[in-house]
Amino acid sequence: MFNFDAKTSVLFGFNTIKELGPEAIKLGAKNVLVVTDKGIVQAGLLEKVKESLNASGINVAVFDGIEPNPSDKSLVVGGQAARDHQADMIIGLGGGSPMDAAKGIAIMTNNDGTVESYVEVLDAWPNTPLPVICIPTTAGTGAEVSRAAMVNLTEKKIKKALFGATIQPQLAVVDPSLTLGLPSHLTAQTGVDALCHAFEAYIAKFSNPISDALAVEAIKLAAANLREAVKHGDNLEARSNMLLASTIAVISASSAGLGVVHSLAQTLGGFYNLPHGLSIAVCFPYGIGYNLVAEPEKCAHVSRMLGTDTSNMSDEEAANSVVAALRTLNADLEIHDDLRSLGFQEADLPVLAKYSVEDGNTPTNPRVFDVDAATTLYQSMLN
């Protein structure tokens, strides 16, 4: 038996941003707070959002103070901004950080207490958050269709999840044209994140026939388009296919779960304040290598989808070949997996191992993951 539930309505296509205002009106919006970051503002993408909202008669306020890893402090400040505007809807515009922050701000607008008091417990907040619309500008995180929001607890230097059906976006406006200006290194890092969501969902503990079908399609799309999107950022087809892969992958992961790649990477990202996609790329080959024994046939299938010829390999060799395929992909995308250059200190290893095992993605990993395993994997990354 399995349960598959995808609640977010997805509006996908070039220039769908023009439909934002009418769609927000349908959802009852009158006063909205757009949550974003200063890079999105500087890129001119905010103006497209405001234009559509204003044309529909919606009052717009903007909170653009979101960091690359949204902090608990920003969510509190953003909640106050929403109350000051008397907002009845939150719109997240940007990569994973602004979209996750939008969900957190939707919670803190209607609830007192600390952000930390609401993490890691399903719908922990007493009052229903404001409704959320998400608009991705990167093809990676899939936060536009996720019921989770990652937040950095600044005092503890750890990432935790706000999680619940009441923060799942009611609408995702997924417009590939908004990703055209994304720099190549961010296209690479976020694209690897999308691939990782699909791969981890494919082998996760609660994978099922529907999530598997979606995961395989997302892997195929990423394998065929990621390198091209990085090399030729103006390729509309590649950009569109990567954004579709990103959205599909997280719909799959929302049902099946993720695994230790995210456990390891989110721990590094929270502790050292690293970009999420970069952390994922660094941990990807190691986490999948750890899980090979749990799902060898699926790992071999992914390796073939990534372009490996396994015809003359044993079953074990075919499964193992996926690690080399992931390393080759990182190299082709010029993503370097040097933990020391990212700030890793060996003295931090005990707390990092502990945090990674406690991460919310560990329970859905297909193989038991403990502190000894986490320590070994981090040490492997260093060596």
In a domain, 3, yes or no: no
Asked whether residue 113 falls in the same domain as residue 230, the answer is: no
Residues 6+ apart with CB under 8 A from 83: 109
The secondary structure element, H or E, covering residue 132 is: strand 132-136
Rounded CA gap, 195 and 219, in Å?
6
Asked whether residue 378 falls in the same domain as residue 238, the answer is: yes
Nearest to 290 by CA among 260, 326, 258: 260
In a domain, 154, yes or no: yes
* Amino acid, single-letter form, for residue 143: A
Q: Which pLDDT score is estimated for 3? A: 65
In a domain, 357, yes or no: yes
Q: Which pLDDT score is estimated for 374? A: 98
| Averaged pLDDT in 10-residue chunks for the chain of 383 residues | 75 96 97 97 96 97 94 97 98 96 98 95 96 96 94 92 95 96 95 98 97 98 98 96 97 96 96 93 97 97 97 94 97 87 89 96 97 96 84
Per the structure block, which two tokens stand in for 365? 């990993």
In a domain, 4, yes or no: no
Nearest to 90 by CA among 153, 9, 171: 171
Residue 323's domain comprises 184-382
In a domain, 252, yes or no: yes
Tell how many helices (H) and how many strands (E) occur in the chain. 14, 8
Residue 365's domain is classified under what CATH number? 1.20.1090.10
In three-state secondary structure terms, 27 is coil
Per the structure block, which two tokens stand in for 89? 């809807």
In a domain, 119, yes or no: yes
Asked whether residue 211 falls in the same domain as residue 269, the answer is: yes
Residue 28's domain is classified under what CATH number? 3.40.50.1970
Q: Which pLDDT score is estimated for 342? A: 82
Rounded CA gap, 137 and 311, in Å?
39
Asked whether residue 191 falls in the same domain as residue 82, the answer is: no
Asked whether residue 281 falls in the same domain as residue 208, the answer is: yes
Asked whether residue 211 falls in the same domain as residue 152, the answer is: no
Q: Which pLDDT score is estimated for 212? A: 97
Per the structure block, which two tokens stand in for 4? 């598959």
Asked whether residue 172 falls in the same domain as residue 216, the answer is: no
Asked whether residue 208 falls in the same domain as residue 61, the answer is: no
The secondary structure element, H or E, covering residue 148 is: strand 148-153
In a domain, 118, yes or no: yes
In a domain, 1, yes or no: no
> Quick one: 352 exposed, middle or buried, by C-beta within 10 A (0-12, 13-18, 19+)?
buried
Give the end of a domain, one of 127, 145, 179.
179
Rounded CA gap, 195 and 199, in Å?
6
* Amino acid, single-letter form, for residue 299: C
Give the end of a domain, one of 152, 179, 206.
179
Angle between helices 184-203 and 296-305 (to 10 degrees): 150
Instruction: State how beta strands 158-163 and 148-153 pair.
Output: antiparallel
Q: Which pLDDT score is estimated for 383? A: 76
Asked whether residue 171 falls in the same domain as residue 188, the answer is: no
Give the end of a domain, one of 179, 205, 229.
179
Distances (CA, A) of 243 to 195, 237, 265, 292, 330: 11, 10, 22, 27, 19
Asked whether residue 98 falls in the same domain as residue 33, the answer is: yes
Asked whether residue 255 falls in the same domain as residue 162, the answer is: no
As for how many domains the chain has, the answer is 2
Rounded CA gap, 23 and 285, in Å?
41
* Amino acid, single-letter form, for residue 383: N
Asked whether residue 130 falls in the same domain as residue 220, the answer is: no
